[in-house]
């Protein structure tokens, strides 16, 4: 993941597909395998993980608690997504955040993100409740994810005017073919002193070179073997992919995810076919190019 304010790069392990229920979007369902992955991750010198209340149908945080994240000394971020209008009302967000703490078996997390903007109510209502959680010592840093640039500015100024905890980190989608944050979000975050971390840097695995065409594969996240989730991955929402953590019968209603960017299309694979021989000529892999 990318960070703009701190000069030292941070690698953060996203946990959206780690959990006990494959039907709810999990791909790593064995706790033993999960622990082995965490062992390797930490052995490489990395220590940050990122989860959310909605991941794996609400089961991810407990799965991470079972892997003893606190005993491992991991730094952890969690999030609450506004899956419907009013999901960031003070009573709701407080209850859901406390659910996260209970599932994680902790009384404090390092980062709490507002997973997307709940535009059905004034931000001040949400931010007042979030500040109360911070004053109670329940999280260290406040983060924003999938907010528009003008919303970042509004949130920062609202917090500053009221003496509330200000967001200090922003998480958004960014890769070689999803670059919309460059025009306004990155300048806004620099202006207001928010670090930036990014998710989906290799476009859901497309830049790995594993997939060669827009034909539906027989296995993996883009296949129909995972039910409706496969189709959702192939038509991934650029605003926030956390929709994929909901059960297949979930109806996604948040207006903030109306704009969709599909990675799984002929134009993407044609571009990769053009890039691959150039990469090979310079002894580079597609992954190396994607991260650069």
Residues with a catalytic annotation lie at 55
Q: Report the half-sphere exposure of 75 (CA within 13 A, side-chain side).
A: 12
Q: Taking the chain, what is the end-to-end CA distance rounded to the nearest angstrom?
A: 11
Q: CB of 143 within 8 A of CB of 109?
A: no
Cβ atoms of 148 and 117 closer than 8 Å: yes
Cα–Cα distances (Å) from 188 to 14, 24, 155, 166, 224, in that order, read 24, 35, 12, 14, 39
For residue 141, the SS3 value is strand
Tell me the HSE value of 64 on the side-chain side, using a 13 A CA sphere.
Answer: 34
- Residues 227 and 23: beta-carbon distance below 8 Å: yes
């Amino acid at each position: 993941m990318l960070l703009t304010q701190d000069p030292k790069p941070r690698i953060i392990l996203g946990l959206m597909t780690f959990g006990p229920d494959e039907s709810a979007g999990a791909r790593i369902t064995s706790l033993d395998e999960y622990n082995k992955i965490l062992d390797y991750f930490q052995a490489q010198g990395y220590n940050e993980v990122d989860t959310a209340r909605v991941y794996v149908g609400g089961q991810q945080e407990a799965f991470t608690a079972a892997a003893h994240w606190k005993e491992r000394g991991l730094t952890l971020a969690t999030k609450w997504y506004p899956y419907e209008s009013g999901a960031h009302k003070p009573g709701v967000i407080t209850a859901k955040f406390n659910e996260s703490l209970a599932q994680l078996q902790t009384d404090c997390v390092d980062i709490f993100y507002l997973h997307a903007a709940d535009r059905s109510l004034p931000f001040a209502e949400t931010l007042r409740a979030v500040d109360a959680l911070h004053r109670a010592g329940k999280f260290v840093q406040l983060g924003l994810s999938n907010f528009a640039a003008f919303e970042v500015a509004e949130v920062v100024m609202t917090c500053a005017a009221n003496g509330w905890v200000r967001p200090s980190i922003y998480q958004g989608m960014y890769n070689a073919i999803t670059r919309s944050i460059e025009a306004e979000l990155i300048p806004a975050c620099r202006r207001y002193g928010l670090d930036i971390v990014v998710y989906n840097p290799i476009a859901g695995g497309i830049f790995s070179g594993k997939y060669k065409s827009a034909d539906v594969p027989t296995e993996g996240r883009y296949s129909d073997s995972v039910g409706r989730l496969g189709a959702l991955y192939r038509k991934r929402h650029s605003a926030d992919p956390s929709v994929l953590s909901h059960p297949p019968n979930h109806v996604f209603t948040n207006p903030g995810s109306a704009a969709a960017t599909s990675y799984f299309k002929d134009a993407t694979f044609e571009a990769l076919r053009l890039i691959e021989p150039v990469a090979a000529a310079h002894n580079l892999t597609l992954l190396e190019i994607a991260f650069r």
